[in-house]
Chains A and B, each alone.
Chain A
Amino acid sequence: MAEKLLQVSGVSKHFGGFTALSGVSLDIAPGERFGLIGPNGSGKTTLINCISGLLQNETGQILFDGKDITGLPAYRRTRSGIARSFQVPRPFHTMSVLENLLVPSAYVARLKDAEGEAEAMRILRDIGLADKAGLHANQLSQVELRKLELARAMAARPRLLISDEAMAGLAGNEVDEVLQILFKLNEAGITIIMIEHIMQAVMRFSQRVVCLDAGRIICEGTPASIVQNAEVQKAYLGA
């Protein structure tokens, strides 16, 4: 295994005249719990779209486990070990919860249905959705949908899990619940990038935090040092 699991160097992305990312570089070590913060529109989601392959970066390079994945379509990146959840849950709404997980287990882990179901049920038990396995995705509550996003990502057997605001809009105890799930996954050896607005959650979870503002990294450090940083305070609170 490479020393760095993910290496992003000099990544830029424009939407028309708008610069969403300009020259972003960051390294993530295997097993790390990494927090990505920044005000609305600072480019967090664009950055993870570039990492997961839903968008292609215009300049720069992305290495995963030492291999260059720049330009690869999203499904190949998922197969190589990068899974993600979506900020606005995008369940396969005509399928049951269990079937949702069978998609990645068929296309990434390449399991037969029986094996896939066994693994999917194990994931659902770990995440606390086992009793909802037979329900349709559109019958789930908000917190259950967030869990389904994570469960489906897990069925792709990732080495790197990107959690895009899995807790936005949840109540306090629900935030704790999701946070516990992420801690448990990390203990099982999965590297996690957490994008979050809920500061208290990021600060508790992350070993290292990067703050984006207007498409640039303005600060990097431990959670404690980030909150003290003048530029971060300025980005969030204004001058």
Chain B
Amino acid sequence: MKFWIGSAVIVLAALGVALSPINEYFFFAAFVVLTFVVLATAWNILGGYAGYVNFGTSAFFGLGAYSAVVLFKGLGAPLAVQIAAGAAMGALLGFGVGLLTLRLRGIFFAIATVAVIFIMETLMINWRYVGGATGLQLLRPEAMAPFTSYTRMLFVVMALMAVVSVAVARFVQTSWIGRGLRALRDSEEAAEASGVPTLRLKLFACVISGALMGAAGAPMPMYLSFIEPASTFSLNYAIGALAAPMIGGTMHWLGPVIGAILLASLQQIVTVTISGEMNVLVIGVLLVLFVVLAPEGILGFFKRWLKSSSR
């Protein structure tokens, strides 16, 4: 109950902020931060709960973005339809990646998912309809009624998507599905022997995670009024989606949220105050620090700290 009240408050607050006369740049930056909240939360369902490290977030994200572009260019589909299509395509790709888990585990699975990025990117570079390598300029429609700009509207939409993703991740974590995923992460054989249908659960996690990543990518072309393969399939999305849960903590749904807000905000600040190149360094340094000093992330660190101080 507390969770749902909190979620409603966050969405309403986002709406309130979007209707206030705050500087437009805030929404421009906050949209990116919220995108990373969705990506990190989605990544954690497979990578954190089930222990399958997906290095191919960019492939899902980019596929979602291009699905949106195709529907927008071909049919002039509204944003909601674009997002739904992004989610559907992400789910489909997730199913395919899920089948890889039949044969590949650990580092081998991670490498295979990197390959998926290059496959998707190559496909889009060679597809004229969506602009090929040079990209495509998109003329975005008017913002809907209460919003004064399209960016403000996208900010609220992404806030809503972040809340939905977190709700989905929380459901997966606390239900019997989450227990099965944890079991198969610890030992796939022992999980099978304990009655857990490991393949089915892995496919489920891949599909849900892929759908959320695809959905997260869908609003991006409208946000930029432009799409182009190199930046859409940028490895930064893959690394950010993986680093945020590592920094926040992978065992709890709150971990990726904390990690993504911290990391993406820091990156935005560094991009503006220092340089766009430096923000990649930020991820690297933070990731190394956390892996060495707090391998269970911020949440794990505080949990241990609470335990030792209560003694």
Contacts and interface: CB of A to CB of B under 8 A. Distances in A.
Contacts of A95: 182-183, 186
A94 B251 CA distance: 10
Contacts of A52: 193
B187 A156 contact: no
B180 interface: yes
A109 to B, nearest CB: 9
A132 interface: no
Contacts, number: 78
B192 A53 contact: yes
Contact of B190 (A79, A90, A155): A90
A83 B192 CA distance: 10
Contacts of B197: 73, 75, 107
B194 A94 contact: no
Interface in B176-219: 176, 179-180, 182-183, 185-187, 189-199
A104 B182 contact: no
A107 B183 CA distance: 11
A115 B197 CA distance: 22
Nearest to A106: B176
Interface string A79-97: 1000110100011111100
A90 B179 contact: no
Given A74-B192, A86-B189, A94 B182 contact: yes
A107 B180 CA distance: 8
A47 to B, nearest CB: 15
Of B180, B190, B198, B251, chain A has the most CB atoms within 10 Å of the CB of: B190
Range of interface residues on A (Cβ < 8 Å)? 20 to 34
A78 interface: yes
B185 A107 contact: no
A104 B195 contact: yes
Interface string B228-262: 00000000000000000000000100000000000
Contacts of A108: 194-195
Contact of A90 (B182, B189, B195, B199): B189
B197 to A, nearest CB: 5
B190 A92 contact: yes
A203 interface: no
B193 A83 contact: yes
A98 interface: no
Question: What size tier do the contact residues of chain B reach?
Answer: 20 to 34
B195 A92 contact: no
Contacts of B182: 92, 94-95
A91 B179 contact: no
B186 A54 contact: no
Q: Is the interface of B mostly helix, strand, loop or mixed?
A: helix
Contacts of B192: 53-54, 73-75, 78
A104 B196 CA distance: 8
A143 interface: no
B308 to A, nearest CB: 16
Nearest to B180: A107
Nearest to B199: A73
Contacts of A216: none
- Most B CB atoms within 10 A — which of A54, A90, A95, A103? A103
Nearest to B186: A92
A170 B251 CA distance: 34
A108 B183 CA distance: 14
A152 B189 contact: no
A103 B189 contact: no
B189 A54 contact: yes
A90 B187 contact: yes
A123 B190 CA distance: 18
A102 interface: yes
A78 B186 contact: no
A156 B185 contact: no
26 contacts: A53-B192, A73-B199, A75-B193, A75-B196, A75-B197, A78-B193, A78-B195, A84-B193, A86-B190, A86-B193, A90-B187, A92-B183, A94-B185, A95-B186, A103-B179, A103-B191, A104-B194, A106-B176, A106-B179, A106-B180, A107-B176, A107-B180, A107-B194, A107-B195, A152-B194, A155-B194
Given A86-B189, A104-B194, 14 more contacts: A74-B193, A75-B198, A79-B195, A91-B190, A92-B187, A92-B191, A95-B183, A99-B179, A103-B194, A103-B196, A106-B179, A107-B196, A152-B194, A156-B194
9 nearest A-B residue pairs (beta carbon): A108-B195, A107-B195, A74-B192, A92-B186, A90-B190, A104-B194, A90-B187, A78-B195, A103-B183
